[in-house]
Structure 1
Amino acid sequence: MTRHEALQRILARLTADDLALFTTGMISREAFNIRDRAENFYMLGSMGLLSSLGLGLALQQRSRTIWVIEGDGSALMSLGTFPLIASCRPSNFIHIVLDNEVYESTGGQPTISSTVDLAALAQAAGYAFVRRVADTTALDAVLGEALAAKTLVFILAKVTGRAPEGLGRVSLTPAEIKQRFTQALPPAATPIRNTAATPAGPR
């Protein structure tokens, strides 16, 4: 299964209410060219922060499904976020790692995902629904199961191949992506407030 094939199937599952976040590099570029929409957020130029952003959205937009689609390199940069996400238990959070075992955007240098079981890490962190897939048939089936489960989901999808020849870049600026995405968001139904006591300052 190529990354492009995986993204085609993932993007086909998105409903009008779903919010989808894509990591920097080829994943954002492929997603943009397959099915661009206002509810897609492309994290240009910043790797490793996507799952944190997705968690914040999941906690604020509880009536909408939040999809976080990143690569193995991005996931490996933010392993500390896995237990944080699991501890918050958002039932509207679908976390998908497309693992090709390389940093493709920077020249194909190998990552360490061939020796690190990201699915096992997600399981140990406390994700409720964890699956591994390596072909399109399995991915289609697992996506259906994940949507029906309505719980915290982690899918490790092993992918092969490089980006399609002549793949275009995201034609929006970061500011335009942010503005368009923000306009697609309704007011948060359940705002998060800091209930911790504020320490008294010096007198």
Structure 2
Amino acid sequence: MVNQNTKNKVFLLNRRLVAKKILAARSDILLVTGLGSTTWDFAATKDRDLTFPLWGAMGSATPIGLGIAISKKDRHVVVITGDGEMLMGIGALATVGIIKPKNLSICIFDNGHYGETGMQKTATSYKCDLALTAKGLGINNAGSISTNRQLHEQIPEIVRGPGPLLRVIKVKAESLPFVLPPKDGVKLKNRFQAALL
């Protein structure tokens, strides 16, 4: 869906500070981070066993997070992905809107660019509004965060629910040092599964 009233896109928040604030708010959340910058942001904050970072699976953060939320109804799952990855896997939001898991939050770090391929503008740099799209797909609790005050007010709901909820968090398009988690996918899967026991 397109928000025809959007005139200026504001990207003010620092992605790494947002990552720190989310992890500081609740240490026991199950976290799925999307391919690229969101994985690096959370690795820079803390490499933790309850984080499942994706390598080479663009568009898969939301479906994987949904699967975990369905299988672990007693745990809160937070998916953190970028606007480029969410646009690639947008159909997953329709499934979330149908199933409506109460233990799932989705945060989209939106900088309006495809950071991994040369900083080309995404549709969110123009008029595409992912929060309105989510509402149209059945996720009623969807909105945007563009200030530190809004972030502070909404983090408790993000990390505790109820879901499904989706927040588009407007972050700066900035080049930050790479902090990579382990690249061994089997090790990451086993580590995450063991932490759930």
Q: TM-score, normalised by structure 2?
A: 0.87
Give the match for residue 142 of structure 2: 130
Structure 2 residue runs of 5 or longer lacking an equivalent are 1-12
Shift of 1:145: 3.5
Match among 165, 168, 175 for residue 156 of structure 1: 168
Partner Cα separation in structure 2 for residue 131 and residue 117 of structure 1: 9
Residues 149 and 39 of structure 1, relative CA distance in 2, 3 Å threshold: closer
Residues 31 and 149 of structure 1, relative CA distance in 2, 3 Å threshold: closer
Partner Cα separation in structure 2 for residue 101 and residue 120 of structure 1: 16
Give the match for residue 77 of structure 2: 66
Shift of 1:86: 1.1
Q: TM-score, normalised by structure 1?
A: 0.85
**Residue type matched to 1:14 in 2?**
R
**Residue type matched to 2:101 in 1?**
P
Give the match for residue 91 of structure 2: 80
Report the 3-state secondary structure (helix = DSSP H, G, I; strand = E; otherwise coil) of the residue aligned with 1:184. Answer: helix
| 8 Å Cα contact 1:122/1:130 also seen in 2 | yes
Equivalent pairs: percent with the same residue? 27
The structure having more radius of gyration, on CA atoms, is: 1
| 8 Å Cα contact 2:103/2:161 also seen in 1 | no
| 8 Å Cα contact 1:101/1:112 also seen in 2 | yes
| 8 Å Cα contact 1:5/1:136 also seen in 2 | no
Give the match for residue 35 of structure 1: 46
Partner Cα separation in structure 2 for residue 90 and residue 118 of structure 1: 19
Q: Is 1:142 the counterpart of 2:147 in the alignment?
A: no
| 8 Å Cα contact 1:39/1:184 also seen in 2 | yes
Structure 1 residue runs of 5 or longer lacking an equivalent are 187-203
**Residue type matched to 1:58 in 2?**
A
Give the match for residue 132 of structure 2: 120
Cα RMSD over matched residues?
Answer: 1.5
| 8 Å Cα contact 1:4/1:163 also seen in 2 | no
| 8 Å Cα contact 1:82/1:125 also seen in 2 | yes
Q: Is 1:168 the counterpart of 2:185 in the alignment?
A: no
